[in-house]
Amino acid sequence: MTARARIGIDVGGTFTDVIVSAGGRMSHGKADTTAYDLGVGVNNALRDVALGMGSSLEELLGDAESMVYSTTVGTNALVEHRGPVLGLITTHGFEDTLLIGRGRNWADGLAVEARYDRGRAERPQSLIPRHLVVGVRERVDSEGRVVLPLRDEEVLAQVQRLVDEGVRGFVVVLLYSYANPAHEQRIRDLIRAQYPEVYLGHMPVFLSSELSPQMGEYRRTMTCILDAFLRLETEDHLVALQDDLRTKGYTEPLLIAKCTGGASSMSRTRPIHLFGSGPVSGIIGAAAIAQQYQLPNVFLTDMGGTSFDLGLVLEGHERTYDYDPVIDRWRVQVPLVAHWSIGAGGGSIAHLQDGILKVGPQSAHSLPGPACYARGGDAPTVTDADVVLGYIDPDYFLGGRVRLDRGRAEAAIVDHIAKPLGITPFEAAWSVKRLVDGMMGQEIYRIAAQMSGLDPRDFVAFAYGGAGPVHAAGYADAADVSRVATFDFGSVGGAFGTLSLDITQTYERTHVDILLSATGGGTYRSEAIEPLNQAIELLLDDARRDMHEEGFDLSALRFELEALLRFGQQRHTLPIPLPAEHVGDVAEIETLVARFVTAYGDAYGKGAVFLEAGVEVLGLRLSAVGDVAQPGGNGLSGQVDDPDPEPVGHRVAYWGFEHGDRETPVYRRERVPSGLVLVGPALVESPDTVCVVPPGWSYHLDDKRVGWLERGGAE
């Protein structure tokens, strides 16, 4: 290998994807995700891509200049409540915060249909049981003044009580600690004195004032608990993986993709940042391509084996932060790049419930996998339906490296769906496909209306994931989207996106006393300038420290600063960019308020603007960005070897109740000439996916080898 390689990895629920950028060319590979040890799947996928490049795993790793890793490790631990036994220390009188939660706590994280079934809704089970929550008598007010001092002897007594209950780590969340963290820091010092890190029995301590220094007691508590809950398993896995890679020749830091929209070293990554890091990476990679094509509004859709992930690129910008994010069933205070996920993937299991066909959210994962994998699974999945419909060639799955068993797929569909409903195997498989396509299309339509206010017809969809191009026309049709882009690297879209991530650290802080304009409207307060600049400088100090430790020249950094503004006493905020790192005069405050008023009017209607209430700064968000060179060509290539406009063969495929089954031409993507328009029905195969072109749709490859599905192609 002559050029140093950049490696991107995305570990999903079913497959582990790897992409390598070297010498302006992209290579990718995948392997089964090995839940018992994720490192095994990573090594298998790395070997797969190295083999395709004519190299060995050791040569690939030895020549790599960077590696960015995305994973959802810990997600299953959270769902299963499998993690360390933690104790919570809080302010006396607030021990029931977790049980009380929020008013809509019962609905957080539930599917839309479940929210309507209030009679059966339950609040999420707490990760820390009530008997492991203790209070200490202390009080800091909202200004940060100590009202009631902390007593060391009480802290030590409560710590001993928790240790006697089997606690192996402490989460400390005191009232108003974001305004003055002194009491939380004192509790940590006392615990460390009792259980120093040099001892085997040392106790990790997690402070909310460090992890989430923001107002909002319940969400601050949950953010700290989730981070602590996941840390041990996440750390063990990543440290073991990095050590293993080093023994195989990789010498650079292992960078971690984050849900906040960047990457950083392990020492600057919190476990909670790993949630959704794969889909977020895909969104950022898609934004880079959207800019090349000057596409302002894009749906990023990623249909893998376990889930269907959706993200938005609006006006060419990918960092649309979720204002009130939910992780699993809990509200948190993490600046997540907004993305959505439903249980609809190739491995989603189809079943009958009271005689009604349902798909997902249960998944067969990679083991045992769909019935056609012949690994012991007998439940019908979406992939089994695609095999029965003739869309997937059992002899060409993953380029022929894995042979599927069509007989087992059909038997699963017949036994569980067709026979009970009294329909043919084709009709049963088609019903599964139509249902899952409708679920995904409905989610696209809902997000478009809810998050952007735009018509879905104004969007282009990008189809990522191994199952994405198979179902793209179906879910696009259901969402009333008429153009879909598919890519040679689409089945590893999350891994591709990691190569577009800059080194980024994001910081947030709550400041509730910065009033920009007085109530009554029209008066801008010069008194706000000094406290606002002081708050900004605190964030800048943290950012400069961390980025210096990452090895960046501070003069080369970009700082992206947003003020979280609201009208007086309102709950919801809007992020408004600040053009400079400091506010100079009242005129700049007036400009900031004017931008907020415009954004508020666009979001909620101009009649909702209420300057008489005053405008407040509820918080600040700072992103420190160290730019990383983007992968050459963004993975797009205009090269085609041995073009051939003729199909490589035909096979019977079923196209619905209206069209029935037909002999359908099959093309190989790598041989289809650019500009050739294929009118559906047609199947365009790649080693890792197949683009299904139904009747009424057309397909062509442009000069960058991006495949375009377009509705309206005449049959």
The pLDDT tens digits of the residues spanning 638-661 come to 666 677 788 999 999 999 988 999
Mean pLDDT within 584-599? 88
Contact 509, 178 (CB under 8 A): yes
Please state, for a pLDDT cut of 70, what percent of the chain lies above it: 91
Place of tokens 């005449």: 714
Res 714: pLDDT: 43
Res 47: pLDDT: 92
Listed in sequence order, the residues at least 6 apart from 99 whose beta carbon sits closer than 8 Å to its beta carbon are 126, 130
Strands 615-626, 574-578: pairing kind: unpaired
Alpha carbon separation from 388 to 118, 367, 463, 651 (Å, rounded):
39, 21, 22, 12
What are phi and psi for residue 699, nearest 5 degrees?
Answer: -145, 135
Alpha-carbon span 554 to 127, nearest angstrom: 40
Alpha-carbon span 537 to 379, nearest angstrom: 57
pLDDT by residue (tens digit) across 305-356? 878 888 888 876 655 666 678 877 888 888 788 788 777 888 889 999 888 9
Q: How confident is the model at residue 75 (pLDDT cuts 50, 70, 90)?
A: low
Burial class of residue 520 in the structure, from the number of CB atoms within 10 Å of its CB (0-12 exposed, 13-18 middle, 19+ buried): exposed
pLDDT by residue (tens digit) across 136-165? 999 999 888 999 999 999 999 999 999 999
> Does residue 470 register a pLDDT over 90?
yes
pTM summary value: 0.82
Res 633: pLDDT: 47
pLDDT by residue (tens digit) across 84-112? 899 999 999 999 988 888 777 777 777 66
Q: How confident is the model at residue 73 (pLDDT cuts 50, 70, 90)?
A: low
All structural domains of the chain with their residue ranges = 5-77+235-274, 79-228, 503-626, 652-711
Instruction: Give the closest residue to 154 by CA, choosing from 187, 200, 194.
Output: 187
Alpha-carbon span 620 to 316, nearest angstrom: 23
Res 715: pLDDT: 44
Cβ count within 10 A of residue 491: 30
Q: What is the mean pLDDT of the chain?
A: 86
Mean pLDDT within 190-218? 84
Strands 64-71, 254-257: pairing kind: parallel
> Does residue 76 register a pLDDT over 60?
no
Res 1: pLDDT: 44
Mean pLDDT within 260-286? 84
> Does residue 26 register a pLDDT over 60?
yes
Stretch among 275-284, 535-544, 699-708 having the lowest mean pLDDT: 275-284
Tokens of 618: 């509820």
Contact 681, 664 (CB under 8 A): yes
Beta bridge partners of 136: 91
CATH number of 79-228: 3.40.1360
3-state secondary structure of 254: strand
Alpha-carbon span 334 to 323, nearest angstrom: 9
Q: Where are the alpha helices (DSSP H) in 19-125?
A: 38-52, 57-62, 75-79, 97-100, 112-116
What are phi and psi for residue 575, nearest 5 degrees?
Answer: -80, 125
The CATH number, out of the four listed (3.40.50.740, 2.60.40.10, 3.30.70.890, 3.30.420.40), of the domain defined by the range 5-77+235-274: 3.30.420.40
> Does residue 201 register a pLDDT over 70?
no
The rounded Cα 677 to chain-centroid distance in angstroms is 35
Same fold, 5-77+235-274 and 503-626: no
Cβ count within 10 A of residue 207: 21
Q: What string of DSSP letters covers 146-163?
A: EEE---HHHHHHHHHHHH
Domain 503-626 has CATH 1.20.140: no
Listed in sequence order, the residues at least 6 apart from 178 whose beta carbon sits closer than 8 Å to its beta carbon are 208, 209, 212, 213, 214, 215, 220, 509, 510
Listed in sequence order, the residues at least 6 apart from 50 whose beta carbon sits closer than 8 Å to its beta carbon are 29, 56, 57, 59, 60
Alpha-carbon span 426 to 416, nearest angstrom: 13
Q: How confident is the model at residue 520 (pLDDT cuts 50, 70, 90)?
A: low
Q: Please count the CA atoms within 13 angstroms of the CA of 3 that sit on its side-chain side.
A: 13
Mean pLDDT within 686-707? 92
Tokens of 245: 């890679």
Tokens of 110: 């539930």
Beta bridge partners of 684: 667, 691
